[in-house]
A and B are shown apart, each in its own frame.
Chain A
Amino acid sequence: MINPSAPTAVAAQDKIIKDFEAANPDITVKKTNRAVDAHKDALRTSIGTSAAPDIYDYWAGPGLGGELVKNGASADLTSYYTQYKWDSRFTDAALGPAKQYGGYNGVPWKLNGEAMFYNKALFQKAGITKLPTTIDELNDAAAKLKAAGITPIQFGGTVNWHVMRLLDTFLEGYCGSATFDKLVTNQANWGQEECVSKSFTNLQKWSKDYFNSGFIGINNDESSSLFYTGKAAMALEGDWFNANIKDNAKAEDFGVFPLPTGTGRMYGFEQAMYITKDSKKQDAAAKFLDFMMSTAVQKETVGTFSTQSVNKEVKAAATDELSKSWDGIFKNAKGLYMNNDQNLSQSQTTEYWRIQNLVATGGLDPANAGAEFQKFLDSSK
């Protein structure tokens, strides 16, 4: 499994295993935790060998989990979905990634949403009375903040994926969900869609006028401090960011609203538990996953691994305004659009980031950005 950042989450994983083994004395579960990159490397080298695990924890997007599915790592779990009625157990948003490759690959485990956190006082100071619901309204809000002498949004650019969230959002907003999906699955031409140029143009405008200065040379933890201390008005983060805010500032000073793409889809990504195709213990593995995602276990652990459960019977205990807002964001989501580092292959993602950063730092005309990316996609086929 991928290392959870909190010790309580590790303890919760261990408890699930212990409880399962107590209920099923004929099955032993051996867990190995790894850091993100070590986990990716370990799976890459062990899949297809006798060292492969029976169950592996992975991100569900095509560029990550999809690659493993493509390489024959994951078993089709259709029969187990029928046997355990998993189809009716999980939320639609959680089920989508499991069904995207045909059949059923993996069992939903964690679904994280991303949205726009904002500083209430700074929004008020800038005269923003209504939260944005479209990209154009978001642009207006940023302009008002800037006019009021406030840094509209904070980003750290060293690891690329934070700024990517904004670009993905512009693409979803300007292109619409159908075109967005076609673009990331290579069914549309990045160089020929006007919305792509519009998205990159908007990204350049934002990076030039609305980001904290020097964003690309600092990491996101450093830039987040601008948000906690009221020096930047917005932060595009995931539901895990609630805890960061509570640790670093007063939670009641902040709010969160869905990314205003107008498509109704929530931005986010999923982690799933996959059963290895070559596993000789698939029945036992499925039994364990059924236990792990059961209503009883999920009720016990909701809030430990993510703010929401993938199990539709389990409601998060919203104790503060931020958590309540997240409940609404998840509840109202009409599907999911995933981060593009999950949608694209790793080499495509590297090039996507290069172009994104070139545009953001003024090194590439946004009008040529889509064609530049398409050139890479064509050459790497």
Chain B
Amino acid sequence: MSKLTATRLETPPGPVTRHPSKKPLLKRIAGGGFIAALPFLAPALAAYVVFVIGPMVTAVRLSLFEWSGFNADPQVFVGFKNYVRLFTADPVFWTAMQNTIVWVLLSLVIPTSLGLVMALALNRPIFGRNLFRSVFYIPGVLAPIAIANMWRWMYNPNYGVFSELAKAWHIGDGSGVTFLSDPKVAIYAIFAAFVWQIAGLNMVLFLAGLQSVSKELVESARLDGANSWKVFRHVTFPALRPTVVVVLVLTIVHSIKVFDLVVGMTGGGPAQSSQVLALWSYSQSFLQHDFGMGNAVATVLLAITLVLVIPYLIWSTKGNED
């Protein structure tokens, strides 16, 4: 019995080894039913090209032009001038870049860990489990702009909940609660709202992943004397690996394009200290009407996203062609 259990622990479940097809691409296309599927794929493909690829190419093209957005105003080709300006003279770009990177890194740690912990806790048969699951999940379905408003009120230095708590605990008169007013703190104050919003979503994904963890394996490990931490480390977590990857990728995507919360809580302020790349791109194009610069920021954002997400896409589609 113990020998059997030990063998199982030594070879934890992992991704099935896949052998990519050795057939030439054209033969694979002809033989794989691609041509037969084409009429069914064509409408979606056409929509994808028009509404996704087209705007992306246009954005990259516009990043090489100077244009105010007026039809009457000609688009002037300036080469890489917008990028040079962005990297060397834009007073906000590097702040936005730094905030975006910090946001992504913190997102990979805090809301994911919190989601996992909540999922592990609520995967047990405890009293009120379904209620807790719903309560933690609800922020994830609220509109981000509503969350932004809610947290802005909570942070209000005159009558927000934190200000009132400070008064109740005799920490000054509450006016010192200036989370959104402090350039050094504002981005983290917004991030707290993001954690509140996203942790429940991660929890749901982890809960789904936990359903695929083999109960027999867990049981075997326990019978073999493994404590809770060892069961988690050697059985549960390896089985959760595909879910973890999905959560991390989704978190990265959510983090990179964060926009609504920042707009709703600080508008990128004070003094652009909480600016992020997605909002800066929007501001340059639609508020400052500098479409060249706005699209240069968008192109940088696109490049960063592709660098982070393409490895996942390759990994997730590997072997599916067979």
Contacts from A to B (Cβ < 8 Å): 41, 44-49, 67, 71-73, 157-160, 212-218, 222, 226, 345-347, 350-351, 353-358, 360-361, 363-364, 372, 375-376, 379-380
Interface centre among A67, A218, A351 (most CB of B within 10 A): A218
Nearest CB of B to A341, in Å: 11
Question: Does B85 sit at the interface, judged by CB under 8 A?
Answer: yes
Task: Please pick, from A159, A361, A364, A380, the residue contacting B267 in the complex, using a CB distance under 8 A.
Answer: A159
The answer on a CB contact under 8 Å between A361 and B181 is yes
The answer on a CB contact under 8 Å between A222 and B272 is no
Q: Which residues between 274 and 291 of chain B lie within 8 Å of chain A, taking CB atoms?
A: 283-284, 286-290
The answer on a CB contact under 8 Å between A347 and B73 is no
Nearest CB of B to A178, in Å: 28
Starting from the known contacts A44-B70, A158-B267, A217-B186, 19 additional A-B residue pairs (CB-CB under 8 Å) come to: A47-B70, A73-B72, A157-B181, A157-B269, A158-B269, A160-B269, A213-B178, A214-B181, A216-B270, A217-B155, A217-B156, A218-B157, A222-B156, A226-B158, A346-B288, A355-B271, A358-B271, A361-B271, A380-B85
Nearest CB of B to A223, in Å: 9
Question: Does B260 sit at the interface, judged by CB under 8 A?
Answer: no
The answer on a CB contact under 8 Å between A347 and B290 is yes
Question: Does B49 sit at the interface, judged by CB under 8 A?
Answer: no
The answer on a CB contact under 8 Å between B283 and A350 is yes
Residues of A with C-beta under 8 A to B99? none
Residues of A with C-beta under 8 A to B286? 41
The answer on a CB contact under 8 Å between B91 and A351 is yes
Cβ contacts A to B, 9 pairs, < 8 Å: A41-B286, A71-B68, A71-B70, A347-B288, A347-B289, A361-B271, A376-B91, A379-B89, A380-B89
Interface string of B260-274 (1 = CB under 8 A from A): 000000110111110
Residues of A with C-beta under 8 A to B237? none
Residues of B with C-beta under 8 A to A354? 91-92, 271-272
Residues of B with C-beta under 8 A to A41? 286
The answer on a CB contact under 8 Å between A361 and B183 is yes
The answer on a CB contact under 8 Å between B69 and A157 is no
Residues of A with C-beta under 8 A to B272? 354, 357
Cα distance, A11 to B152, chains bound together (Å): 35
The answer on a CB contact under 8 Å between B266 and A222 is no
Residue of B whose beta carbon sits closest to that of A160 = B269
Residue of A whose beta carbon sits closest to that of B189 = A217
Interface size (B, Cβ < 8 Å)? 40
The answer on a CB contact under 8 Å between A363 and B72 is no
Residues of A with C-beta under 8 A to B85? 379-380
Residues of B with C-beta under 8 A to A160? 269
The answer on a CB contact under 8 Å between A357 and B283 is no
Cα distance, A355 to B272, chains bound together (Å): 9
Question: Does B207 sit at the interface, judged by CB under 8 A?
Answer: no
Task: Please pick, from A49, A222, A345, the residue contacting B71 in the complex, using a CB distance under 8 A.
Answer: A49
The answer on a CB contact under 8 Å between B69 and A218 is no
Residue of A whose beta carbon sits closest to that of B173 = A213
Interface centre among B70, B182, B284, B290 (most CB of A within 10 A): B70
Nearest CB of A to B245, in Å: 38
The answer on a CB contact under 8 Å between A72 and B181 is no
Question: Does B196 sit at the interface, judged by CB under 8 A?
Answer: no
Question: Does B297 sit at the interface, judged by CB under 8 A?
Answer: no
Residues of B with C-beta under 8 A to A72? 72
With A47-B71, A217-B180, A222-B158: A357-B270 Cβ-Cβ less than 8 Å: yes
Residue of B whose beta carbon sits closest to that of A213 = B175
Cα distance, A346 to B266, chains bound together (Å): 19
Residues of B with C-beta under 8 A to A49? 71
Cα distance, A146 to B270, chains bound together (Å): 25
Which 9 residue pairs of A and B lie closest in terms of their CB atoms, listed nearest first? A214-B157, A48-B72, A217-B180, A217-B181, A357-B271, A48-B71, A379-B89, A347-B288, A358-B271
Question: Does B312 sit at the interface, judged by CB under 8 A?
Answer: no
Residues of A with C-beta under 8 A to B288? 345-347, 350
Residues of B with C-beta under 8 A to A345? 288
Nearest CB of A to B290, in Å: 5
The answer on a CB contact under 8 Å between A214 and B271 is no
Cα distance, A73 to B177, chains bound together (Å): 48
Residues of B with C-beta under 8 A to A214? 156-158, 175, 177-178, 180-181
With A213-B157, A213-B175, A222-B156: A47-B181 Cβ-Cβ less than 8 Å: no
Cα distance, A356 to B155, chains bound together (Å): 23
Cα distance, A356 to B270, chains bound together (Å): 10
Cα distance, A345 to B288, chains bound together (Å): 8
Residue of A whose beta carbon sits closest to that of B179 = A217
Residues of B with C-beta under 8 A to A48? 70-73
Residues of B with C-beta under 8 A to A226? 158
Interface centre among B92, B155, B182, B271 (most CB of A within 10 A): B271
Residues of B with C-beta under 8 A to A357? 269-272
Task: Please pick, from B70, B92, B269, the residue contacting A216 in the complex, using a CB distance under 8 A.
Answer: B269
Cα distance, A199 to B181, chains bound together (Å): 22
Residue of A whose beta carbon sits closest to that of B273 = A363
Residues of A with C-beta under 8 A to B157? 213-214, 217-218
Cα distance, A372 to B271, chains bound together (Å): 13
Residue of A whose beta carbon sits closest to that of B185 = A217
Cα distance, A345 to B183, chains bound together (Å): 25
The answer on a CB contact under 8 Å between B68 and A67 is yes
Interface string of B135-175 (1 = CB under 8 A from A): 00000000000000000100111100000000000000001
Nearest CB of A to B284, in Å: 8
Nearest CB of A to B81, in Å: 11
Nearest CB of B to A36, in Å: 12
Nearest CB of A to B260, in Å: 15
The answer on a CB contact under 8 Å between B178 and A217 is yes
Cα distance, A67 to B288, chains bound together (Å): 12
Residues of B with C-beta under 8 A to A157? 181, 269-270
Cα distance, A141 to B254, chains bound together (Å): 50
Nearest CB of B to A377, in Å: 11
Cα distance, A217 to B186, chains bound together (Å): 9
Cα distance, A283 to B176, chains bound together (Å): 60
